[in-house]
Structure 1
């Protein structure tokens, strides 16, 4: 590095922000895809990230800093004792699959078996309580844990009934407080989506800062003096941090970024697609599906899955170290340029889906590990959002622009010809619920019905289903989930309005199955 450093021993600050979220898993459903998504994320992402943070913290507490959003649905799943028990069985089944491979395949998958066993030992050591490990890192200040909307509802399409936005946020805050013992001050807005006057709702709920896409900051009013390189403060008093695209593109893009390198593990070639239905059923897997067992490398993007070469772990480890150095060198050059051209200390905000690191990009946690270890070498100070605001910076007053982190900053990924039909359905349900919740129901049974109706409404509002419908992947699953929760919602409303037709068995079954948010309050939907 050439040239003078700023008044401190670093060029500027980098805040990596990870957003961890998965949709709710039904309690009584066996072998669900959502359950597989969760277990693969635990194995490939959440445990490796915890290991990286805890190991790095022992070596350098001051520079081991990340911001992490844990959605309320994900937290409810991680704390579920039944799911914790099922995860142990799920892992053991995967180990059996790997042990059954041919000698050639066993040699190629040796790294995977070793890593799975290592992660399972970690799981056993903490008795499956990953939330407690996250909590400890939050208490030491190494992690700044944010909340999210309760079921990851896309807030701009809920705005017609502001009370439904309130329900999403208040329920999330209440759940977070029960789990972590303190009210969250920061929030990850689902899909970084913002609309006018959302800051007022956030303020009234006790939220003080959030992350936005760069479009939300750069198109703000007035245009921010320092662009996305410093947080802004809305007129209502909420601080907003803007995504820096230059800091995120090399990591999230499989085409233009690091994850697409030929030596990294191939995501799409999964053992589950190659085994016969008979072989799967012997292990209790009813249909062909990804098992999370992948031991081939990308090789090259034009190579068919059948011609992918076996993964070589040492080559991938070497490459991810190179990529971490390349990333940090690029950020240091970026920060130096910003430092020389402006009289402020620049800040780079790099937000990502947490599941990118480990699940989609297998080497991702090791990349994070190298960033934590090597950042000081490049005169970069790692920080988190809470630490930045604790320094009481002088923020420019600026109202952010409506935006999301979808393409171009628009809302159209969650509102288009594939999923727009959802909006009138959840809007109608939300309007009815808001009206009924404002009535003075004093009897316990009515409140019981309303609470379960609130859960079904929240679950139907999840943006996961809109995303899946647009992506065209498991569309039948997404439609079935929306229809199921709305059906249950309307049946509960019918029972509330006509108590001569109470289906007690139905009520008990869905209370057991959709048992999320035990501390839910109807008052949280009231302005």
Structure 2
């Protein structure tokens, strides 16, 4: 069986700059990838096709696709795209871009104006895709405090259930990062399977593998197949006939050239030819189907039973980075069954028994070196230290507030963790929600997002990434300092102010963070469960 997995993710960009990095990044990805991808999947769903792929959408991206500010900004951006098409001096490009913008506007106005959730939910309800969830704001989980790790994952899965009516049992762990013991937390959260990179399984990706002593399966990305598409040296998007991502018309911002050659300067690129690009798509569809068939046969022969091949990609590759990607993807999803190849989701693979022997998974990621260097190496030591400071400040503030609450009295009776006690026993009065604590956690989760270290390590808008991490760190410091100083009115004012920019996850509730002494309980409980499972 062949399984296609797509990972859709952008950090929180709303209200944090526009160009060259900021909301423009969101709107480009939305127009180039999310609109055509969901449109294509809807077309296949209308044909009765099911279980086409596993679609990961991170909670932080889902929040932006439903956010009123982002929806209004996206509508404005699409209208501006149409205006820019009219300004193009090249007639062929002007007509082509105008038609694309008009089609995108129609799709957005008829299907997306109430947010992305109705669009995605339709695909999930039709059985077209399996939804993969994840932690709230895409943290690098192995480096995250256990209390925040547990909170972020549980809240992220609940966020998916609220948006789409289903709580995912599969996840795309941020950066495919893993540390021993995380599988226990996954099991506790109801996760049955997750993605890792191929080298994490030493290249043996033909079956899902139970991780250590758990029943949680790790599925590995097959690099031999995936790299036919996503390879910086020989992947399909670099073909001479495809539209060049880096070359654009400075007057309109529209992309008018084809790749032409890997060493050809932008000024010397040839004009884009849609017919030539379409012919190249057909060639690459045939090549990919043949590669999948050969891989399935060779791996089935090697293991002596039917094998699984998993190809996994960032969703934004299809359309945003590789203009022809959505068309290639639709043709592949049609061509694979026509070639006699079964396709299904990761959950299909699990339920149909594509499961091997347990694996003692070790520390890993899908970053450079397949270890953690991108997120905790020397190049990002300042961000590692900042993250540690941020998390400590946030949890200290939260724990301090709870300690104060324990000293409060309600009608003259002492309370414990915000609940009234009678003779030392809780009477059932719940801890009240604290919007200040909620905002502290929002800023903390945004500050420790894995994106910032990745962008710095890869030197892609590194200045923006550092600035974003420090802005969120500053926000939580301001609020926490006011709380610590007893200036509760100031803390509430600051929390409201920062919430105007960072109001994602309105259901986030700080009361669900494990208590101060529960981090040891989390670790000890995990050890006990591991021992019991043995």
Change (3 A) 1:49 1:500: closer
Cα distance in 2 for partners of 1:29, 1:376 equals 44
Equivalent residue number for residue 287 of structure 2: 326
Say whether 1:100 aligns with 2:87.
Answer: yes
Cα distance in 2 for partners of 1:28, 1:475 equals 15
Unaligned runs of 5+ in 2: 406-417, 419-429, 515-521, 523-534
Equivalent residue number for residue 413 of structure 2: none
Cα distance in 1 for partners of 2:338, 2:279 equals 18
Q: CA deviation at 1:444?
A: 8.4
Change (3 A) 1:32 1:520: farther
The match for 2:131 among 113, 123, 145 is 145
The match for 2:222 among 233, 244, 254 is 244
Show the 5 A alignment for 1:514-525: 514-525=502-513
Equivalent residue number for residue 140 of structure 2: 154
CA contact (8 A) 1:166 1:524 kept: no
Change (3 A) 1:93 1:238: same
Cα distance in 1 for partners of 2:493, 2:483 equals 15
Q: CA deviation at 1:20?
A: 0.4
The match for 2:72 among 73, 76, 85 is 85
Equivalent residue number for residue 493 of structure 1: 480
Q: CA deviation at 1:236?
A: 2.0
Equivalent residue number for residue 284 of structure 1: none
CA contact (8 A) 2:18 2:24 kept: no
The match for 1:427 among 364, 384, 388 is 388
Cα distance in 1 for partners of 2:445, 2:6 equals 23
Q: CA deviation at 1:209?
A: 0.9
Equivalent residue number for residue 112 of structure 1: 97
Cα distance in 1 for partners of 2:365, 2:381 equals 17
- SS of equivalent residue, structure 2 residue 301: helix
CA contact (8 A) 1:194 1:216 kept: no
Say whether 1:44 aligns with 2:32.
Answer: yes
Equivalent residue number for residue 409 of structure 1: 370
Equivalent residue number for residue 135 of structure 1: 121
For structure 1, which segment, 439-448 or 339-348, has the greater mean C-alpha deviation from structure 2 after superposition?
439-448
Equivalent residue number for residue 19 of structure 1: 7
Q: Which has the higher contact order (CA 8 A, sep 6+)?
A: 1
Equivalent residue number for residue 8 of structure 1: none
Q: CA deviation at 1:428?
A: 2.5
Q: CA deviation at 1:30?
A: 5.8
Q: CA deviation at 1:110?
A: 2.8
Q: CA deviation at 1:489?
A: 0.8
The match for 2:148 among 164, 169, 174 is 164
- SS of equivalent residue, structure 1 residue 135: helix
Cα distance in 1 for partners of 2:112, 2:435 equals 33
Cα distance in 1 for partners of 2:450, 2:33 equals 21
The match for 1:381 among 326, 342, 346 is 342
Cα distance in 2 for partners of 1:182, 1:193 equals 24
Say whether 1:233 aligns with 2:220.
Answer: no
Equivalent residue number for residue 340 of structure 1: 301
Q: CA deviation at 1:60?
A: 5.1
Equivalent residue number for residue 361 of structure 1: 322
Cα-to-partner distance string for 1:68-113 (whole Å, 9 max, x where unaligned): 11011110000012211221111111211110122xx121343232
CA contact (8 A) 1:98 1:106 kept: no
Change (3 A) 1:466 1:28: closer
Equivalent residue number for residue 9 of structure 1: none
Q: CA RMSD in A?
A: 2.1
Change (3 A) 1:522 1:179: same
For structure 1, which segment, 167-176 or 127-136, has the greater mean C-alpha deviation from structure 2 after superposition?
127-136
- SS of equivalent residue, structure 2 residue 381: coil
Change (3 A) 1:170 1:524: farther
Normalization by structure 1: what TM-score? 0.88
Q: CA deviation at 1:25?
A: 2.3
What is the number of residues matched between the two proteins?
486
CA contact (8 A) 1:109 1:295 kept: no
Q: CA deviation at 1:150?
A: 1.1
Cα-to-partner distance string for 1:470-508 (whole Å, 9 max, x where unaligned): 122212211111111001111111122222364254332
Cα distance in 1 for partners of 2:214, 2:190 equals 12
For structure 1, which segment, 303-312 or 432-441, has the greater mean C-alpha deviation from structure 2 after superposition?
432-441
Cα distance in 1 for partners of 2:16, 2:371 equals 37
Unaligned runs of 5+ in 1: 1-12, 220-226, 281-290
Cα distance in 2 for partners of 1:251, 1:480 equals 33
Cα distance in 2 for partners of 1:342, 1:237 equals 21
Normalization by structure 2: what TM-score? 0.87
Show the 5 A alignment for 1:242-321: 242-271=220-249, 274-275=250-251, 291=253, 293-321=254-282
Cα-to-partner distance string for 1:149-179 (whole Å, 9 max, x where unaligned): 2111111222xx2112113212211211211
The match for 1:191 among 167, 175, 180 is 175
Equivalent residue number for residue 473 of structure 1: 460
- SS of equivalent residue, structure 1 residue 421: helix
Cα distance in 1 for partners of 2:8, 2:435 equals 30
Change (3 A) 1:510 1:301: same
CA contact (8 A) 1:112 1:295 kept: no
Cα distance in 1 for partners of 2:20, 2:238 equals 29
